[in-house]
Structures are given as C-alpha cells and as structure tokens.
Structure 1
Amino acid sequence: MENFSISWQDVIPESTGQINEKYEIKEQLGEGAYGSVRKATHRLTREDRAVKILSKKNLKTPEELKILENEVSILRSVDHPNILKVYETYQDKFSYFIVTELCSGGELFDRIIQGRTISERDSAHYFKQILSCLVYLHDRHIVHRDLKPENFLFCTQEPLSNLKLIDFGTSIQCQTAEILTKKVGTSYYIAPEVIDCHYNEKCDIWSAGVILYLLISGFPPFNGKTDAEIMANIKAKKVSFIGKEWKNISNEAKDLLGKMINPDPLSRISAKEALEHPWLQNDIQTPLDPGETALILNNLRSFHWETKLQKATMSFIVSQLTTRAEREEMLELFKSLDKDNNGTLSRQEILEGLIVFTRVTGIDSEIDRIMSQVDCDGSGEIDYTEFITATLNRTRLLSRERLEIAFKLYDIDGSGTITKDELKAIFGKQRHYDDVFWEEMINEVDKNGDGVVDIHEFSEMMLSLNN
C-alpha cells in the first residue's frame, strides 16, 4: 500500500457558496473592526459552533487581507488542546467565514476584572495551559505577538474550564534565529524589545509573564494614561512586587515572574524552562480513573486501519463530527501522558504511559506498531486529534448516524455514491496525489466493481474497524 499521510489540515474544508446551506446562523456573540462573531448550528450534526464573519468591503487593503489569510493559515496548521479549533472556512461574494469551536465561558480577562481573588493554585492551573500553547507554537517557529487575557477564552462557565488561545491575526511563522522588526501587540503586554522593533519569540514570554502578574495581583506591572506612557514605563521600570496584593504571594511565583518579565530577552527564560519551574507544581492534577484509563489505552493499543479511506474517514469524523465533550473525555489522560507539556505525545511518552496505566511489559515492538498506525501525518509524534482518533470508543464513534453524515458530506453531488473526484476534492487540497492514487482508494472499498462507493460499501468498510 502506498504510504498515505493525512493530518487535521487535510479535513478542514475550504468552501465557496452559501454557508446557510450547512449552518443555521444564530445570535451575535461579538463584534470587531472587520465583522462579527455569531453562534451557528451545524444542520446535520446539530453541534453549536462559532462563525467569524468578515465583510469583504471592510478588508480593503492587501495588508488587511494578509492578516486574514495569515490567521486562517496558522489556525489550520495547529492542533493543541488549548488552541482554538477551526472546522472549516467559507467565502461568498460578500464575506469570509471562519467556523471554529464555540467557547461559551468568556474571556480570561473578564474573570480577572470581576474582582474575585484568583488563588495561586488556580492561577498555576490556567498558566500551565498558556505555557503549553507557547511551547507548542515556539517549537513550530510560530510567534503569537499579541498574548493578552482577552485572547484566552474559557470553553465553559466552569471555574476550572479549559482555556483556548485565539486571534492569530498578528502571528507569524519565522525561521530559526530570525529577527522580527514590526511593532505589533497591545501596550500593556508588549515586550520592551518589540518597542525597539528588534525581537524574537521571547516577546511572547514577556507577554505571558504580564498575564500571570495580572492574574495574581489584579493589575498590570506597567501602567499609564496613554499607550506612549505605558510603553515608556515598560522601557524604564523594573517589575515590582511591592504592595498589599503581594503580601501573601509565594516567593516561587515572584521568582517565575522575575524570570519572565525580564527586560533582557537573551536571559529571559523560554516557555519550556518556565513549565519546569517549581511554582507550577501548584497546578491542580485531576485524578484519573484507573479502569477508564486502561480502557482508553486498550483502544489505543487495538487501533488499526486497513484501507486509505478508513484512515481518512477516521480523521474526518473525529475532526468534523465529534462533539467537544467527546474530545475532552481524553484531555486529562492526554495531559497526563504529555510529560513535557508540549502538546504532542512522543514514542517514549506513550511507552511510559502504557507501562504505568496498563502494567504491560515488553512492548517495544508494539509501540512501533502503535506509532505507525496512530501517527497519521507521519510527524513522528502523536498529535491531540490523532490521540482522540485512536482512543475514542469506536462503537460509539462509528455509529450509523455518523457514518451516514460523513457519507453525505463526501457525496458532494448528492448522487448516492462517492467518486474518486469527490475524495480528491475533500482530501486532495493539501496532498497532491495523482489520479491513480484516488482510483486505488476507491477500488480498496468498491466490492461490486462499479467504480464508486455506495453507502453499504462505505458502512461495511468502517464498521469492520469494530471487529
């Protein structure tokens, strides 16, 4: 079988036409300079999502269009439990649409300004998620450049809900050792070297440190009546821990803040180093149910695929048709296995997790098989979505209802069959395989030899994975 790699990027559709045919657009959730964000319900799955609607008439300059394209490109390229998930993009004559997961818990900023004291323990819980995002992004040479509490959303209203990083409009993917020169960001959180227009990814560390300072104390480390005054204070002053707000704050928290809000980017710690700081041992560890954990990891051990269409469809269903609640069922285990908190699982992390939670031994060769089956994009590590794909209960995941929805989405022309051209249209935008490849993909499943795949052939193929 020809090597076939597929990633979350391959199953994020880029569509033209009427978004109303697929989504029921509902109430407005927010508004910005270029458009609005509205709640939207997927007509087939009934899952609520958010859709960012950007008016083309408001995007007048090449620079504004580049910001939009950049945000979509970066969101499509990342797969992390604390970064906003994008489902698909649309455009029609008047607007661009970015469909993402719906985060209903409000901004981190809102919880800070509500006046309630956020304990060090809770602050560590939130901050570990923020740093995990930065390790993941910086490993991929992505600099966010506008980290602030307004750009972290809570998934739900729960006190310790998962955080999601949003707004990648000013983010940039750069080369190793590349120096950035454009002054971007928000005044309270901007690093001094950004003001000087000579910086790298360490600017995100400074901004994250300012967020932590604000979380713990309730106010920013550098203030002012105007942006110019704030930035002058950032350049001239040192971070201070004087005041009644700091009286009962641990020395460990102050030490971490001092190392992050360090005016010298060369000696400022990295995201990885910050994650290893003793203060983050205050993070709340959610206990795992041993029986449930063993079941999940046994799903991982038994995961397999036999045809390319099976492999692609599993990725498609998990990416497009699962609920957030289902995806987050695996979140605590994923975080527990992810010892270096970089948002992916290495071979060694999987091996250690299986030994600890299932008490199996002598499984080196099994780990190689697991990695070859689960690492669908061939990156050498297991991404969050790949982990979910391999660990979700397959009987529930591959319900007849979900298979019918997936089939309908593949069957673009509504003919009742799936053709090689339809598969190419869905999965071939990011991967350039020749027509023979797509024909083989059909032939692996086409039992009656008519050159297409019907619903019975499709369902039989997918349900065989439960055996």
Structure 2
Amino acid sequence: MGSVCCRDDSRQQKGCLIISIVDELDTSPNPDAAKPPEQKVSLSQQGSKKSQVEEIQVQVENKQNEYVLESEPHNELEQKQPVTNKEEIPKNSEIVQSQKRTTEQNKGEVMKASLEADSKSKKMIKLGFDIFVKQKEGSIGSHYNFGKVLGQGAFGKVWKVTHKTTGLIRAIKQIKKSSIIKEEEQRLFSEMNILKNLDHPHIVKLFELYQDENNYYLVTEYLSGGELFDRIKKMSSFSESIAADYIRQILLATLYCHEQNIVHRDLKPENIIFISEDPQSQLKVIDFGTSRKFDNQKAMSKRLGTPYYIAPEVLGHSYTEKCDIWSCGVILYILLCGYPPFVGKTENQILERVKLGKFTFDPEDWDTVSKEAKEFITKLLRMDPTKRLSAKQALEDPWLIKYAPSTQINKKVLNNLRQFQAETILKQALMSYMITQMSTQKELQDLQEEFQRLDENNDGFLSKDELLKGYIQIQTDSKLAEDEVERILQMIDINRSGQIDFSEFCMAAMNQEKLLSVQRVEQAFKIFDQNGDGFISKKELEAIMGDLGDDVWNQILTDCDNNGDGQISYEEFVKMLKNKKL
C-alpha cells in the first residue's frame, strides 16, 4: 500500500506518504516479487544472499508489503474524537477563605480568584492545537515554494517545500483527485481527522490540508533522519540500551493512541522515522492511513497490515488494539538480532508461521542478549491478546525501566511555566499557533524530554498531580505548590481539557522572549494579515482559527483594539503579545 510520510527519501518509487490509497494495493500473486529466504540470515552476513530485512525492502519497493485481505463495513471510517474533560476547571466556590493564612498564601488565593472571575466574565473558547489544522481553499503555491521531489507514485508526488512567510521546511503530499475513488476520498478525510487530533512528541505532526480543482495537498512536518528500517540495515543488531530507547518511544506513541481509542494497525520499521540524522535523534510514528477509532466493546475484523508484523488474531478477523503491541514485539526482536521472528519463502508461509506464533531465540544470535530482554519480547508476542501486555504495562516492564531516561526535572522549565502569561483570548490563540505551526523541531527537542519526565504515567498528558510532583521539587510548601499548579492549569490549559497537552506545555515552557521574538511576531502578523493591508480583520482571523462568533470577536476587540476601528493593527498586535494585558 502506498502511504504518505514526511521522510527524506531518495528512492523515487517508494514515496514518502501518510495516506493509504486502495488503488496501490496489490493482492494478486507476483512471481517476480523478491521472496525472503527460508533460512535466517543476519544483517551483518555478507555474500550473495540478501538478509531478510533487505528482502523486506525489496517487497516494499514491489508494493507487496501491505495488503487488505477482506473488506469490512464502511463504519471503519470514524469521525473526529471529541475532547474529553478529565478534570473540571476549579470553581470560585471551591476557594476556601481563611483569616489564618499567611500573606503569601492569601496572595496566591487572590490571584487564583481573580483569574477565575476574569475567565467567567468572558465567553470560554477552546483553543486547542487542532483548530489550526483544517482544509483550506486556494492556491497552495501562494503559501509554499516547492523544492525537490521526495517520492512519486501513481497518485501524485511528495515534495519538500518551504513556507514562504516563515521559511520553515515541510513536506507536502500531492494527490490527484482524478486518481482516487470516493471511498478513498472519505478515507483521506478520516485519516486527517485522526491525525489532526494527535498531539504527541513521537507522532508526525499534520499542519494543514489544501485542495484546488485538481489536487489535494496534505502538509506535514518534514522528517529528514530516515527510516528505522534503514538503520536496521546498516547494523547487524543494536545494543540493548539503544533498542530499549527506540522501542520505548514507539510504545509511548502507541499508548497515547490507545488512550485516545485509536489503533494504528501497521506499525513497522518503515513507518518509524527519525526526526533528523543526528545519532541521538528522536523517532516519530507516521502513516495513519490504516488507523481507526475503536470501540472497547467491539472487536475489529478488517484484515490488513504487513506480513512480518501482523498479529495472528488479525488474520482471524477478530482483534483489539493489542495487535499494535504484537507489532512492537516483532520490531524489538528485529532490533536485537537483525531478522524477523516469523520467516518463510513466500508470503503465505510467513502468515502461516505468524498464525502458529512459535518463535525461538537462536543461541548463536541471542546468547549475548539479556534474559530480561527475551522475557519482555515473549510478553509482547503472546498469542492470547488478553495475556499480552498492554502498552501501559509494556512501558512499566523492568527491562525498559532499567534503560529509562533520567527523571531529574529541569527547574528552568518549571519556572517558565510559572511565569507564563496569556490572559487575552487572542494572545492564547497566537501563542498556540506559534508553538504548533511556527516552531522548529530543534526548539522543541529539549521541551519534549522535560514533558516526558513530568508525564509519569506516559499517557501523553500532564495531570494536576503530575505537575504537582514536579513543583514540589522547587516549592517545598505543599499548599503553595498546589495553589501554583491550580493557577498554571487555568492559564495554560487553553483547550479546557483539565490537563496539559504537549503543545500547551511547549507554549508555556519555551522561553517567552524566544517564542515572541521580533521575527516570529512579524511572521505571525503577515500570516494572519492575509490581504497585506496592515490590519487583521475578523474574516482573516476566522480563515485560520475557524468561526469565532460575534461575542468572541467583540471580546478580542475589547482586549486588543485600542483605537476602536474594529480591526487589529500591527502596533496593537505587538502590544497585545508583549504586554501582560492592555
């Protein structure tokens, strides 16, 4: 199956895609397709025989690596997931008055009450990162300069592009409307609705979707570090510490998806991309073309995936999200020895061995691997899904904990959170836009690590309790720390979910002078001032943020429009961003 991604790939026929397109599926036998050898061959082995992982690449390039064996009712296409409020925002009635409080405690309480009263005096609006990810009309060429072609297939091309205003590098998948059927058009929008709601350090970021008369254009972040698959080919095996680091990042993305009731269904090394070529680069999961929302009370039945990585229960038409865990087990097995656990000369042989679920740890290749690592793989590859580890349990396994990163919190980041100020609706929206649409991967890398240190349960969100544990490290008075966390939650939680998302954290944790640099503020104004007349109107703001309503727009004008002309000038724009409040 062709898929769209945002990788840097010189192979013209493979393509870097994030969208699954049914016309690229090839379920018929192909006598010319390369077949994996029956005997295990390590990646380090030289000679005329290719390694099994190299054979996988040949299969990919011949489009034999993905398949749909049976179709399922069209209810596979799911809609956008609603935001779940896990914690309600504290109310005024919850503020307990006491004459015996210290001056500092009273001060903190007054600030808290003031913020709550201020928020209640305004219409509440959810400003999540997803409001900026939408389908846009018009010429994409007016926004992006097209560079080299990263990949090409039957349905279009993948380009490396540069955003004209910000200079940021991105990837664009161009899809010809004439080449896709109606069902696949719906699938495209279904995938966009899933991906636009995923906000995680280890999941590819979707920016926007354009369309013109002839094409759709999917705009994603550009990942230049290459596939995990390619790194596997270059090494016979990885050290346990490196393998643990990689599989932990994949499991973090998997847990986040599963917590949102989303199953990926095609986790494999080709769909795991390094952000950059740096040896310490982080990973991101891509290609959500086969993903879907799932119901915990109903098993899925659609048989799709990639032979080496597909779970046995998927072949039996009845499975849950734990099919992703099986794929993770296969990936880890390959990382530690260089070949898959289930092999065969033909695709059918591979699938038959997957159904049996029997694998071994050949002493020749596994004697130097720890007992704990082999036990962990065994727990990921249990035939019975009910006995297989969940993503959460996997991340708590002793083998992974042994190689877990340091939990020492950076106090500078916590102090940045404390100092964050964004009282007006427009300032919250603009800072959210800057962090999600205008920041670089390098800027976010350190913040990503701090976010994951605070996120103790690995669910991809920061709860009140997790924040409190962090702040206890710099504020020993537990009551003052709790008041501080309450204030931070109200200020930073701009989508009103009751917890802090990754993008919200980055918005507040980044150095504000850096985030609101003169250059970035100028760029942001130019993006919102779409007709270039030096003012931002309601129509221009709605083109990026969606329908605001008169009440919200009037509140924005009250906060920002000093001269009362019904629009926002550059001077007013800068004052609103730079000052605490107008």
1:64 to 180, 184, 190: 184
Unaligned runs of 5+ in 1: none
One-letter identity of the residue aligned with 1:386? E
Shift of 1:19: 1.4
Shift of 1:304: 2.2
Q: Which residue number corresponds to residue 18 of structure 1?
A: 139
1:110 to 221, 224, 230: 230
Q: Distance in 2 between matches of 1:30 and 1:189?
A: 24
What number of residue pairs does the alignment pair up? Answer: 460
Q: Distance in 1 between matches of 2:457 and 2:155?
A: 38
Q: Distance in 1 between matches of 2:470 and 2:176?
A: 48
Q: Distance in 2 between matches of 1:173 and 1:105?
A: 29
Q: Which residue number corresponds to residue 326 of structure 1?
A: 443
Shift of 1:375: 1.1
Q: Distance in 2 between matches of 1:359 and 1:396?
A: 29
Q: Distance in 2 between matches of 1:13 and 1:131?
A: 28
CA offsets per residue over residues 216-243 of structure 1, 9 Å max, x none?
1111111122222211111124121124
Q: Which residue number corresponds to residue 388 of structure 1?
A: 506
Shift of 1:14: 2.4
Where do 1:447-462 residues align within 5 Å? 447-462=562-577
One-letter identity of the residue aligned with 1:321? M
Given the two structures, how large is their TM-score scaled by the length of structure 2? 0.76
Secondary structure of residue in 2 paired with 1:39: strand
Q: Which residue number corresponds to residue 442 of structure 1?
A: 557
Q: Which structure is richer in relative contact order (CA contacts within 8 A, separation 6 or more)? A: 2
One-letter identity of the residue aligned with 2:223? C
CA offsets per residue over residues 313-372 of structure 1, 9 Å max, x none?
110111111111111131221111111222211111111112225656431111111111
Given the two structures, how large is their TM-score scaled by the length of structure 1? 0.94
Q: Distance in 2 between matches of 1:358 and 1:391?
A: 17
Q: Which moved more, 1:377-386 or 1:161-170?
A: 377-386
Secondary structure of residue in 1 paired with 2:161: strand
One-letter identity of the residue aligned with 2:218? I
- The change in CA–CA distance for 1:224 and 1:412 in structure 2 (over 3 A counts) is same
CA offsets per residue over residues 9-62 of structure 1, 9 Å max, x none?
012242222212111111122234533322111111111111122222221x22
Secondary structure of residue in 2 paired with 1:280: helix
Q: Which residue number corresponds to residue 222 of structure 1?
A: 342
- Over the aligned positions, Cα root-mean-square deviation in angstroms equals 1.8
The alignment status of 1:352 with 2:464, answered yes or no, reads: no
Q: Which residue number corresponds to residue 339 of structure 1?
A: 456
Where do 1:41-440 residues align within 5 Å? 41-59=162-180, 61-283=181-403, 285=405, 293-356=410-473, 361-362=478-479, 363-428=481-546, 433-440=548-555
Q: Distance in 2 between matches of 1:187 and 1:66?
A: 26
Q: Distance in 2 between matches of 1:88 and 1:382?
A: 23
Shift of 1:287: 8.0
Q: Distance in 2 between matches of 1:208 and 1:466?
A: 49
Secondary structure of residue in 1 paired with 2:305: coil
Q: Distance in 2 between matches of 1:310 and 1:145?
A: 39
Q: Which residue number corresponds to residue 37 of structure 2?
A: none
One-letter identity of the residue aligned with 2:563? N
Q: Distance in 2 between matches of 1:320 and 1:375?
A: 18
Larger radius of gyration: 2
Q: Which moved more, 1:405-414 or 1:186-195?
A: 405-414
Secondary structure of residue in 1 paired with 2:472: helix
CA offsets per residue over residues 127-176 of structure 1, 9 Å max, x none?
11011011100000000011101000001112231000000001001222
Secondary structure of residue in 2 paired with 1:330: helix
Q: Distance in 2 between matches of 1:246 and 1:17?
A: 56
Q: Give the structure with the higher percent helix.
A: 1
Shift of 1:454: 0.6
CA offsets per residue over residues 254-278 of structure 1, 9 Å max, x none?
1111111111111111000000000
Q: Which moved more, 1:96-105 or 1:118-127?
A: 96-105
CA offsets per residue over residues 56-110 of structure 1, 9 Å max, x none?
2221x22322332222111101000000011221111222111111111100011
Paired residues of 2:423 and 2:491 also in contact (CA < 8 A):
no
One-letter identity of the residue aligned with 2:487? R
Q: Distance in 2 between matches of 1:439 and 1:47?
A: 33
One-letter identity of the residue aligned with 2:420? F
One-letter identity of the residue aligned with 2:530? I
- The change in CA–CA distance for 1:463 and 1:260 in structure 2 (over 3 A counts) is same
Shift of 1:398: 0.8
- The change in CA–CA distance for 1:396 and 1:237 in structure 2 (over 3 A counts) is closer
Unaligned runs of 5+ in 2: 1-121
